[in-house]
Each structure stands twice: as structure tokens, then as C-alpha cells.
């Protein structure tokens, strides 16, 4: 029997107006949005519903906004939310953990807010950037990264032929030239605040580790496929350990989707703003059925 995987998007999925319809049409959603404002100490809903793209890109806003939208949407599905597996892309892993009851909503939001601030702190300490490499085999991208001096690593395995690298600015620029020389269709430096999912996030990882260790976790409703190893996890100690490693380790999304497919998940439901993950899933497993929650 075919299984259903619920997948949760990461940073970059935000848009002005996100969640406004949910707020207007669901008492539960309205309650959770207002609870979010109280927890964060500012009205994030005002920025989500009516803010400019620039306001939504603020570090303290972007990650909590996407997390809140995703988790509230999952909650409003009620009895119809019956995941066989869950997974999230980077930030989305926190949404997946809350939706699957591994952590409660308030704890999840506090962790995400802390994660955003920790990442900003790490960016200020050690500036870095990321670049999208298109049309090159994963193994070739990894090989080129190893040949470059300084910090440059594979950071996001998004889908075949689309891998994001992360590291020091000079090393990334040099890597982009080498990737093109190796046959990449494009090597595009991204407009991001830092070198996410690279060793340059070590300060953020250390700071977030304390917050994760202080948070109460429960066994999730179903296995969660985690970014760090693209394997299914139910054990609390494994989930926490992988979550701590996540900021300095690559997002193995291609591998995660294949793991879910191998576990029998032929339907993928994206829960949150946008449709980025649906597009990636179809590129990884063309036979998969993809839909929005």
C-alpha cells in the first residue's frame, strides 16, 4: 500500500501575504498565530500578511515566519494529517518535528527564533556565501570543492543537477570558475547572508546545541527522515544529535526523497508556503505524486 510523506519547506519559500487566509478562516490558526506573536514579542503576523519582501527577508522574521505558516497549516489539517513519514528541508526539519509531535509548538518556535539569531551571529563572525551549481554531477561538484583552498563544501543536495555549495567568499568565487570549467551549465552566487550548512556555522551550531539540549523531545508520530544522514529516525537521542549537527552539515534532500520513496512513500504533500519542494521531488522521483496541503 502506498504511503504518504509530508514535507516542509525551508528558507526562501516566504512571500508577502503568507498565512493571511488561514488566519481569516480558521479559529485554530488565528489562535496559533496570536500565540506566535506573544512568544516572539513582536507582531510577526503583520509582516507575514502585509510586509514587504525586504521586511520578510530579515533574519529574525524569515525563519519563524515559514515555520509558523507550515506548522499552523499542518495543525488545521486535523484528522486528515496522517503522515507515514515526515521530512523538512533545512529549517523545514523543525516544522516536521513539531507537526509530528516530537516537540511542542512553543518549544519549536523558540528553537527556530534562536536558530535564526545564532545563524546571524555566525555570519557576522565569519562572512561567507553560497552558490548554486547547475548541470553538474554531485560527485564532480564534491571533487572540485576538495581542490579549492579555504572553506568550500557541498551544502544542499536539492535534486540531481542542482547542488548548492557554501563557504568563504573568495573560495566560493574560485569554485564557481572551476565548476564552469568542469562543465557546469551555471554557477551562480546566491544573495544569502552567510555560508549556511558549512563549517563556518560552527558558532551557530554551538549556540543552538544548548537550546536543543534544553528542549523536551518526544518520539514522533512517524519516522522523520533527517537532513544530516537522509535516514529514518524515531529515537529521541538520534533526532536531537542530528538536529545539532544540521547547521554545519549538508542538507541531503535528494537522498532524503529517495529514502522516502524506498520506504514506500509515493505521495508527497508539501506543507507550508510555496511549491519549491514539489518541484524538487518530481526531479528526484518523476513517478511521485506531489500536492499542496
**What pLDDT, in 10s, does the model give residues 31-64?**
999 999 999 999 999 999 999 999 998 888 999 9
Residue 12 pLDDT grade (very low, low, confident, very high; cuts 50, 70, 90): confident
**Which percentage of the chain shows pLDDT scores above 90?**
95
Residue 143 lies in a domain: yes
Query: What pLDDT digit, counting tens, does each position of 88-97 carry?
Result: 999 999 999 9
Residue 194 lies in a domain: no
Mean pLDDT of 168-187: 96
CA-CA distance, 126 to 195, in Å (whole number)?
9
With 0.85 as the threshold, say if the pTM is over it: yes
For the record, the C-alpha cell of 138 comes out as 554531485
Same domain, 159 and 86: no
Domain CATH number, residue 164: 3.30.70.250
Same domain, 10 and 108: yes
pLDDT at 199: 96
pLDDT at 191: 84
Residue 264 lies in a domain: yes
Residue where a domain stops, chosen among 162, 189, 216: 189
DSSP summary character for residue 270:
E
Mean pLDDT of 179-195: 93
Residue 260 lies in a domain: yes
For the record, the C-alpha cell of 141 comes out as 561538484
- How many folded domains does the chain comprise? 2
95 is catalytic: no
263 is catalytic: no
pLDDT at 60: 86
pLDDT at 192: 84
Mean pLDDT of 110-120: 95
Same domain, 96 and 165: no
Residue 177 lies in a domain: yes
Residue where a domain stops, chosen among 166, 189, 212: 189
pLDDT at 1: 78
Please identify which of the residues 70, 90, 171, 256 carries the catalytic annotation: 90
Same domain, 203 and 142: no
Mean pLDDT of 7-26: 95
Q: Which domain holds residue 147?
A: 129-189
**Which percentage of the chain shows pLDDT scores above 70?**
100
pLDDT at 57: 87
DSSP summary character for residue 83:
-
Please identify which of the residues 197, 198, 233, 256 carries the catalytic annotation: 197
Same domain, 226 and 103: yes
pLDDT beyond 90 at 279:
yes
pLDDT at 58: 85
Amino acid at each position: 500500500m502506498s504511503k504518504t510523506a509530508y514535507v516542509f519547506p525551508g528558507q526562501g519559500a516566504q512571500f508577502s501575504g503568507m498565512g493571511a487566509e488561514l488566519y481569516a478562516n480558521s479559529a485554530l490558526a488565528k489562535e496559533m498565530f496570536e500565540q506566535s506573536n506573544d512568544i516572539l514579542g513582536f507582531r510577526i503576523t503583520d509582516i507575514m500578511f502585509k510586509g514587504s519582501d525586504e521586511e520578510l527577508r530579515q533574519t529574525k522574521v524569515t525563519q519563524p515566519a515559514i515555520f509558523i505558516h507550515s506548522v499552523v497549516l499542518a495543525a488545521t489539517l486535523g484528522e486528515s494529517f496522517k503522515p507515514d513519514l515526515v521530512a523538512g528541508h533545512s529549517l523545514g526539519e523543525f516544522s516536521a518535528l513539531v507537526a509530528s509531535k516530537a516537540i511542542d509548538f512553543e518549544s519549536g518556535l523558540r528553537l527556530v527564533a534562536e536558530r535564526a539569531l545564532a545563524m546571524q551571529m555566525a555570519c557576522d563572525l565569519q562572512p561567507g556565501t553560497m552558490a548554486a551549481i547547475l548541470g553538474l554531477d554531485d560527485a564532480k561538484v564534491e571533487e572540485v570543492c576538495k581542490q579549492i583552498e579555504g572553506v568550500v563544501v557541498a551544502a544542499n543536495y536539492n535534486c540531481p543537477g542542482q547542488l548548492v555549495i557554501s563557504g568563504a567568499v573568495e573560495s566560493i568565487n574560485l569554485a564557481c570558475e572551476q565548476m564552469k570549467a568542469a562543465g557546469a551549465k551555471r554557477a551562480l552566487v546566491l544573495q544569502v547572508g552567510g555560508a549556511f550548512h558549512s563549517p563556518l556555522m560552527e558558532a551557530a551550531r554551538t549556540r543552538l546545541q544548548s537550546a536543543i539540549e534544553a528542549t523536551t523531545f518526544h518520539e514522533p508520530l512517524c519516522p522523520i527522515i533527517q537532513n544530516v544522514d537522509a535516514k529514518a529516525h524515531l529515537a529521541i537521542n538520534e533526532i536531537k544529535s542530528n538536529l545539532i549537527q544540521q547547521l554545519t552539515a549538508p542538507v541531503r534532500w535528494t537522498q532524503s526523497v529517495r529514502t522516502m520513496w524506498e520506504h514506500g512513500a509515493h505521495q508527497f504533500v508539501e506543507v507550508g508556503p510555496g511549491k519549491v519542494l514539489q518541484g524538487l521531488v518530481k526531479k528526484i522521483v518523476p513517478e511521485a505524486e506531489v500536492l499542496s496541503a
